[in-house]
Structure 1
Amino acid sequence: MHQDLPLGIFSGGHGISGRSLNNGGIVIAVDALDTIEMLDDSRIRLGPGAVWIDVARTLAGHGRALTSGDAGTVGVGGLATAGGIGWFVREHGLTIDHLRSVEVVTADGELVRASADENPDLFWAMRGAGANFGVAVSFEFDTDPIGAEVGFALLVYYPDDIASFLQDWGAAIENAHPSVTGTLMISPADRRTAVQALIAVDSDDPDTIIERLQPFGGLAPLASQSVRLTPYTALLVPPPGTDTQHGLGEPHGHSALARHLDPELARALAELLASDAPFILSIRSAGGATADVSPDATAYGWRDANFLVVTLGGGTADFEKRWKQLLPHTKGMYLSFETDTGPEVLARAFPAPHLERLRKLKARWDPTGLFRDNFPIDPS
């Protein structure tokens, strides 16, 4: 007897949204498909259950890397079908920009290969909206060369004016060398707002690293600063006790993409930080080489966004009101950090022409809507 049950797809087990799991339904766990295999000097085959720290360690032995988020415990499957904004996104683009083929079990149970030459429409959809189209069981990626070490800076600012600081930070990132990628971490719980900046520089030359970090030194009063050389793999290892995410839907998360940290968005972010709720605000670099790919090349279409804005926590009425007031100053949304659902959220996830094309492809590849656990696209 056919039963209409929730269906989740579980890969590495890190997913913040919790949509990989469900109560009373079916979960397809692909975490055992954790293959990591070098195919030649630059190409690698990965299973969806492999985690990115293991991928990075394997590639490091070959002098290669694949930009892939900033947490090594994330599974390949979820990130490689959503986008992939990693430490070297400005230099090398998104993770999906390195994908050359993917094997997918479709709604009718067929195993198909999608690439630029085979099922190209499915390949387009899998790079940004993959959770709607099947269970990815194998990926092939091209990788990039990397040195034994890279530069990493940790700066702690105490800005006098947070909105002005955010504008200056945004300008500094946009004008930085492509090898530079930065993330801000801000918590409004502090009596005086402290801003933690994490900056990676893809170089092993100390003089080059210091030169490329210079624009960031004078943005605001510094409470502390450190700069070191470290293996790229070390950037993916979370501090002890901080990685407690197991795909259960906590904490509550929001995301938005923005072309610039312009005065309107900066003021809205400052207002958000004045909320009555405890939360963490993260502002991550995007842009750079991401924009070298045509917006129409993949289902992920926000190629001109230079920043990813993420909140973890919040959830109060005051917080939600301030978040909604911020949205008109943004452009699009990144799927992996958003826990809200609904048509209005889906409309922010994809540009309108992309969503129209995705609906037509959904009608072809999954007409009954079997895969609907993660931002479901209605084929009608």
Structure 2
Amino acid sequence: MIEVIRPGDAAYAQISGSFAHTGAPAYVFRPRSAEEVAEAVRFAAREGLELSVRSGGHHGAGYGTNDGGVVADLSQLDAIEIDGQRVRLGAGATWGQVAETLAPHGLAISSGDTRSVGVGGLLTGGGIGWMVRKYGPAVDRLVAAEVVTASGEIVRASEQENADLFWAIRGGGGHAGVVTVFEMTAERESAVTFARFTYPAGQAAAVLKNWRDALRTADEGLTSTAQLFPAFGEQAPPSVVILAAYAGDDPAAVKPLAALGDLVAEDVKVVPYAEVLEDAFLPPGFQPIVRNRFASDLTDELIDVFAGAEIPLMYREIRAIGGALNRVPAHATAFAHRDAVAMVQTVLLGTPEQHGPRLPAFEALWAALKPHVSGAYGNFLTHPTDEDAAEVYPGATGERLAAIKKDRDPANLFGRNIPLVS
């Protein structure tokens, strides 16, 4: 019997919302099998209720919950099975669990950077992680999946079976179905060299340009993120932090990133991949505004605009990607951004009340960045507009995904996703 939690039940307050959002669903289903997921899907369709599918609940737009509808909470589907380098991951497992389970076998899968993020949400959005330059996004390691369709049918998706679904779930979010199990190829990586280099905030533009130049010739085993932190009171001045993960035990691989400016601090260590992943938390009341775009070239002009923005409590970062990601054709998966060498992201921190006065400057920054960027990563958008959605699923990708959805989900039961813009 499937577990169903309703308002008033003891567990309701704990599981009705998601990471950054409150919700008031009428029913929270907690399935333990694909058959029970199908039962939840059929129930929502039969009752005409909005359906949210939650893996880890981290999506910034709050799709993992709703008001008055059904939530299918997949957290009980957390089995992890290993057969050589082939791994079966339940959609409700977290990437922290995956990394820790794979580590004793000398295996790793390039995932996101947060332990509690769910397998399902990150994978169906693409999966940009700490080894993306060497192995590509996580969807490129997917070989098959178990999917529950809008009709409640349980099917297998791969290059040979239900190929339309297999294409759609690799970057198309949850539009085409609910993935309950992912079959993936893990990589033989037992350790990574992880580094943190801190530079003065006043050198941001110069550090970013030197960082870009260093990565242009770096081994693809090196993935790096440049972080620009705002001031958090007098005890925490603004700073520039360069994070780097090299796939393997080689501290020399990260040393060029220690010479980008006047180094303030450095920390280099060789650790299991699981130790690279971080815990996530939000101060009470915080509801960040997150926006991102991809760049096919980190030009001086882009860096100058990005580094020059001074908005209180705004965090900025550039993630260097490229490498293996660029060697897959754009049409091969619903994650289409195969010419990207970097992802540019801004996060307005604080409460909704604090956001208002800063929004004009925030929008002005993105207007200035627009000529230099294109495409967007659906997993890092909190308030997706039609423009954002068109960038997540550009051109032919959006058209193909919409056609698959029309066939597989004509009633838009799986509408709690980045919208498809016609």
TM over 0.5: yes
Change in 2 beyond 3 A, CA 1:364/1:43: same
Q: Is the 8 A contact 1:271 1:322 kept in 2?
A: no
Q: Does 1:26 align with 2:67?
A: no
The CA distance in 2 between the partners of 1:349 and 1:58, in whole Å, is 32
**Which amino acid in 2 is paired with 1:308?**
M
Unaligned runs of 5+ in 1: none
Identity %: 39
SS at match of 1:31: helix
Q: List per-residue Cα deviations over 1:268-315 (Å, max 9, x = no partner).
A: 20233x12x312112212111111211111000111111112222254
1:138, CA displacement in angstroms?
Answer: 0.7
**Which amino acid in 2 is paired with 1:325?**
A
Q: List per-residue Cα deviations over 1:49-98 (Å, max 9, x = no partner).
A: 10011111111111111101111111001011011111111111110000
Q: Is the 8 A contact 1:104 1:138 kept in 2?
A: yes
1:37 aligns with one of 40, 65, 81 = 81
The CA distance in 2 between the partners of 1:196 and 1:180, in whole Å, is 16
Structure with larger RCO (C-alpha < 8 A, sep 6+): 1
Change in 2 beyond 3 A, CA 1:167/1:350: farther
The CA distance in 2 between the partners of 1:168 and 1:215, in whole Å, is 10
Q: Is the 8 A contact 1:295 1:301 kept in 2?
A: yes
SS at match of 1:324: helix
**Which amino acid in 2 is paired with 1:125?**
A
Q: List per-residue Cα deviations over 1:164-219 (Å, max 9, x = no partner).
A: 32222122123211111111221232786410111111222xxx422x22322221
Q: Is the 8 A contact 1:170 1:260 kept in 2?
A: no
Q: Is the 8 A contact 2:251 2:270 kept in 1?
A: no
SS at match of 1:64: coil
Q: How does 1:80-159 map to 2 (within 5 A)?
A: 80-147=123-190, 149-158=191-200
Report what 1:178 is aligned to: 220
Report what 2:16 is aligned to: none
Q: Does 1:356 align with 2:391?
A: no
The CA distance in 2 between the partners of 1:174 and 1:17, in whole Å, is 33
**Which amino acid in 2 is paired with 1:196?**
V
1:223 aligns with one of 259, 264, 269 = 264
Report what 2:28 is aligned to: none
Report what 1:373 is aligned to: 416
Report what 1:288 is aligned to: 323
RMSD of equivalent CA atoms: 2.1
Q: Is the 8 A contact 2:173 2:417 kept in 1?
A: no
Q: Is the 8 A contact 2:386 2:419 kept in 1?
A: no
SS at match of 2:59: coil
1-10 or 78-87, which deviates more: 1-10
The CA distance in 1 between the partners of 2:260 and 2:153, in whole Å, is 55
Report what 2:25 is aligned to: none
Give the alignment's TM-score, normalised by structure 1. 0.91
SS at match of 1:129: coil
Q: Is the 8 A contact 1:103 1:111 kept in 2?
A: yes
93-102 or 344-353, which deviates more: 344-353
The CA distance in 2 between the partners of 1:166 and 1:21, in whole Å, is 38
Q: Is the 8 A contact 2:157 2:166 kept in 1?
A: yes
Report what 2:7 is aligned to: none
Q: Is the 8 A contact 1:18 1:249 kept in 2?
A: no
**Which amino acid in 1 is paired with 2:319?**
R
Q: Does 1:6 align with 2:47?
A: no
SS at match of 2:401: helix
Unaligned runs of 5+ in 2: 1-44, 350-354
Give the alignment's TM-score, normalised by structure 2. 0.82
1:367, CA displacement in angstroms?
Answer: 1.2
Change in 2 beyond 3 A, CA 1:161/1:109: same
